[in-house]
A and B are shown apart, each in its own frame.
Chain A
């Protein structure tokens, strides 16, 4: 089983709909992140969480919200989807305690979201 699981893998929906993307991890990492990837723009950080009670805005948080339901779960919501939120969305985890700072983030396989 994958260490970081994102659901759904693909989703097509209509403008104005509420969408939730889910992420769960079995790595035991405290830190979780949501990114969106657009062609030519790389990965941009939407929200991140360093533990269950911690939520932080990233570079492009407008139009998004998150919930950290447990250490292992971090969901991303689009309250009212719009076409320019069409993108590939990644969840990632990391362990950033002391000596493990040189460890990379671990990514899910992404959710491709299309908003018509």
Chain B
């Protein structure tokens, strides 16, 4: 069975600095999709970035980028120039291309220090 592990329950970063949130996963599948979601205090689940496993190029969305290491089964999220509005819970998620099962990590709460 697939698993998703976020090893950092909480992190803090100074405003304008860069922070990396880690995510590792376990799967025997070769085709799958990975996502990072942000959950601010409003509790909405907001997509931050997505990565297809068959793509070697790391996804980037403005200040957000990923470091996707397929062999290591690692999918970390880098936030550059951190802003106060980035403070939230961040969830890593795995989606199987085979049976469409979607599994979430336990989350990392990110604090932005002014």
A104 beta carbon closer than 8 Å to chain B? yes
C-alpha gap A96/B95 in the complex (Å): 10
Known contacts A101-B95, A107-B45, A109-B44; A42 and B33 CB within 8 A of each other: no
- A92 → chain B closest CB, angstroms: 8
Taken residue by residue from 29 to 40, chain A's Cβ proximity to chain B (1 for < 8 Å, 0 otherwise) reads as 001010100001
C-alpha gap A90/B104 in the complex (Å): 13
A45 beta carbon closer than 8 Å to chain B? yes
Query: Contact residues of A with B, CB < 8 Å?
Result: 31, 33, 35, 40-45, 50, 88, 90, 92, 94, 96, 101-102, 104-105, 107, 109-110, 112
Number of residues on chain B facing chain A (CB within 8 A): 21
Query: Contact residues of B with A, CB < 8 Å?
Result: 6, 9, 33, 35, 37, 42-45, 47, 50, 52, 91, 95, 97, 100, 102, 104-107
Known contacts A101-B33, A102-B33, A104-B35; A42 and B97 CB within 8 A of each other: no
Residues of A within 8 A of B102 (CB): 33, 45, 94, 105
Q: Are B43 and A88 in contact (CB under 8 A)?
A: yes
- Which of B35, B43, B45, B106 is close to A40, meaning CB atoms less than 8 Å apart? B106
Q: Are B43 and A110 in contact (CB under 8 A)?
A: yes
Q: Are B50 and A42 in contact (CB under 8 A)?
A: no
C-alpha gap A35/B105 in the complex (Å): 13
C-alpha gap A105/B93 in the complex (Å): 10
Residues of A within 8 A of B35 (CB): 104
| 23 contacting pairs across A/B (C-beta < 8 A) | A31-B100, A40-B106, A42-B104, A42-B107, A43-B104, A45-B102, A50-B100, A88-B43, A90-B45, A94-B100, A94-B102, A101-B97, A102-B33, A102-B50, A102-B52, A104-B35, A105-B102, A107-B44, A107-B45, A109-B42, A109-B43, A110-B43, A110-B44
Residue of B nearest to A105 (CB): B102
Residue of A nearest to B107 (CB): A42
